[in-house]
């Protein structure tokens, strides 16, 4: 079964062989064969197909690859947000509020909550999402969070080292032993990745290193939260360990930027966090100009950033982080896929999965030019419109 999508005013292919960053094709068409892209090019050259869909001049992009989210939780922290907007600074300890609510929730409550958020993401064009644990922080609750997440994505991340839970506050070293021992053993069957929050108030570099190395020994790949609340050793640790991605990167020294460039570790920027915590934004421009690969993701979570909208993050990246619309779209699609070490999504070229977004707009620029407007007309996953 083949479907010809034609009448595409602007097609973002992200073809790495193209001369321009986005591999743009105007007056384009695309053929879907089953789950995959079979052909892309000018509409005038399109082959015949079993079915034809005319998109009337709309723009088509690869589906967004949101490589950083925390969707398995219960409760909300709207009051904490309101307090922050009244002048209370954000601190990592607020995570414990969500931990208490998450432990008290049933499996069914957690599952239906994730389902609702994933649906919200789909409506906004996200076709691949990474989901972390990190609000259970017991052997049982971390494993169950990952089992819930696995129902929605292959990209599940064990984040037992999110914060030291209240019951271990007196002995963080014992908690790290738990995370790298029994908790990891219970989590690993449900996870592809391991992550840690390397930040003052959470875990230091030695603790984060121990967690990441234990995860790798258990067959998981590493990613890291670092340099969110201030300068620190996390970004250089991620580069040294050759992690796929290091996320936040809000406070960077020149040595951090050099380490990212030299290691090839992707810097995933999460501007919804700076928006929601009134922190200064990182400079995407500085990183890209230095030769660092930059991805964009939502960091959807109940504390520091409760948006599920990648289009919103694209608009912020353009307005606040010095990125061009093309760079921001590329960061939220192609680079997002790279940050998850995925080569089957993130681009619309033959052989990749037919995950795409149809915009009610003539070009990708409108994602930043018309912030806050629901421009996503259709989301397709694996060759099917949702």
- How far, in Å, CA of 360 to CA of 344, rounded? 26
Say if CB 267 and CB 227 are below 8 A apart: no
Q: How far is CA 190 from CA 139, 161, 286, 340, in A?
A: 13, 16, 37, 16
- How far, in Å, CA of 247 to CA of 259, rounded? 14
Closer to Zn ion by Cβ: residue 73 or 334:
73
Closer to Zn ion by Cβ: residue 143 or 246:
246
Span interacting with Zn ion, options 142-150, 292-300, 344-352, 368-376, rule CB under 5 A: 292-300
Shortest Å distance, C-beta 31 to Zn ion: 38
Tell me which residues in 145-184 interact with Zn ion (CB under 5 A): none
Closer to Zn ion by Cβ: residue 4 or 244:
244
Is the torsion defined by CA of 13, 14, 20, 21 positive or negative?
positive
- DSSP letter for each residue of 211-273: HHHHHHHTTPEEEEEESSSS--SHHHHHHHHT-SEEEE--S--HHHHHHHHHH--EEEE-HHH
Shortest Å distance, C-beta 313 to Zn ion: 13
CB atoms within 10 A of CB 231: 13
With tokens 């064990």, the residue in question is 158
Closer to Zn ion by Cβ: residue 23 or 282:
282
Tell me which residues in 312-331 interact with Zn ion (CB under 5 A): none
Closer to Zn ion by Cβ: residue 294 or 347:
294
- DSSP-assigned letter for residue 294: E
Query: Interface with Zn ion includes 274 (CB under 5 A)?
Result: no
- How far, in Å, CA of 326 to CA of 330, rounded? 6
Span interacting with Zn ion, options 6-14, 211-219, 260-268, 291-299, rule CB under 5 A: 291-299
Shortest Å distance, C-beta 268 to Zn ion: 9
- How far, in Å, CA of 296 to CA of 257, rounded? 17
Span interacting with Zn ion, options 258-266, 282-290, 295-303, 350-358, rule CB under 5 A: 295-303
Span interacting with Zn ion, options 81-89, 186-194, 294-302, 319-327, rule CB under 5 A: 294-302
Task: Name residue 274's beta-bridge partners.
Answer: none
**Residue of minimal Cβ distance to Zn ion:** 299
Closer to Zn ion by Cβ: residue 30 or 159:
159
Shortest Å distance, C-beta 97 to Zn ion: 16
Closer to Zn ion by Cβ: residue 141 or 299:
299
Closer to Zn ion by Cβ: residue 102 or 379:
102
Instruction: List the one residue out of 211, 202, 277, 263 whose CA is nearest residue 235.
Output: 263
Shortest Å distance, C-beta 292 to Zn ion: 19
Closer to Zn ion by Cβ: residue 199 or 299:
299
Shortest Å distance, C-beta 195 to Zn ion: 8
What are φ and ψ of residue 126, in 5° steps? -85, 125
Span interacting with Zn ion, options 15-23, 137-145, 165-173, 299-307, rule CB under 5 A: 299-307
Span interacting with Zn ion, options 32-40, 297-305, 329-337, 366-374, rule CB under 5 A: 297-305
Q: How far is CA 323 from the centre of its chain?
A: 18
- How far, in Å, CA of 250 to CA of 263, rounded? 18
Shortest Å distance, C-beta 68 to Zn ion: 6
Shortest Å distance, C-beta 89 to Zn ion: 18
Query: Interface with Zn ion includes 299 (CB under 5 A)?
Result: yes
Q: Which residues bind Zn ion (CB under 5 A)?
A: 299
């Amino acid at each position: 079964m083949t479907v010809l999508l034609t009448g595409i005013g602007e097609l973002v292919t992200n073809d790495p062989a193209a001369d321009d960053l986005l591999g743009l094709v105007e007056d384009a068409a695309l053929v879907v064969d089953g789950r995959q892209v079979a052909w892309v090019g000018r509409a005038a050259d399109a082959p015949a197909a079993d079915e034809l869909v005319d998109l009337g001049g709309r723009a088509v992009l690869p589906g967004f690859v949101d490589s950083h989210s925390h969707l398995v939780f219960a409760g909300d922290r709207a009051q904490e947000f309101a307090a922050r907007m009244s002048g209370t600074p954000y601190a990592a300890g607020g995570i414990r509020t969500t931990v208490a609510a998450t432990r008290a929730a049933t499996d069914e409550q957690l599952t239906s909550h994730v389902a609702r958020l994933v649906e919200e993401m789909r409506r906004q064009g996200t076709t691949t999402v990474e989901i972390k644990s990190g609000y259970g922080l017991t052997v049982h609750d971390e494993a169950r969070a990952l089992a819930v997440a696995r129902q929605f994505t292959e990209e599940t991340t064990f984040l037992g080292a999110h914060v030291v839970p209240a019951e271990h506050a007196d002995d963080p070293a014992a908690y790290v032993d738990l995370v790298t021992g029994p908790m990891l053993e219970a989590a690993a069957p449900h996870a592809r990745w391991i992550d840690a929050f390397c930040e003052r108030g959470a875990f230091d570099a030695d603790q984060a290193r121990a967690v990441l190395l234990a995860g790798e020994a258990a067959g998981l790949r590493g990613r890291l939260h670092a340099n969110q609340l201030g300068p620190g050793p996390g970004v250089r640790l991620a580069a040294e360990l050759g992690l796929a991605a290091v996320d936040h990167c809000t406070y960077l020294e020149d040595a951090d930027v050099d380490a990212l460039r030299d290691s090839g570790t992707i810097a995933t920027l999460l501007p919804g966090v700076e928006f929601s915590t009134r922190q200064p934004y990182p400079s995407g421009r500085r990183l890209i100009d230095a030769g660092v690969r930059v991805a964009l993701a939502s960091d959807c979570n109940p504390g520091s950033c409760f948006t599920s909208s990648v289009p919103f993050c694209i608009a912020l990246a353009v307005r606040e982080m010095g990125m061009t619309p093309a760079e921001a779209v590329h960061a939220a699609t192609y680079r997002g896929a790279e940050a998850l070490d995925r080569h089957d999504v993130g681009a619309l070229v033959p052989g990749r999965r037919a995950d795409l977004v149809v915009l009610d707009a003539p070009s990708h620029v409108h994602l930043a030019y018309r912030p806050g407007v629901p421009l996503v007309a259709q989301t397709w996953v694996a060759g099917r419109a949702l």
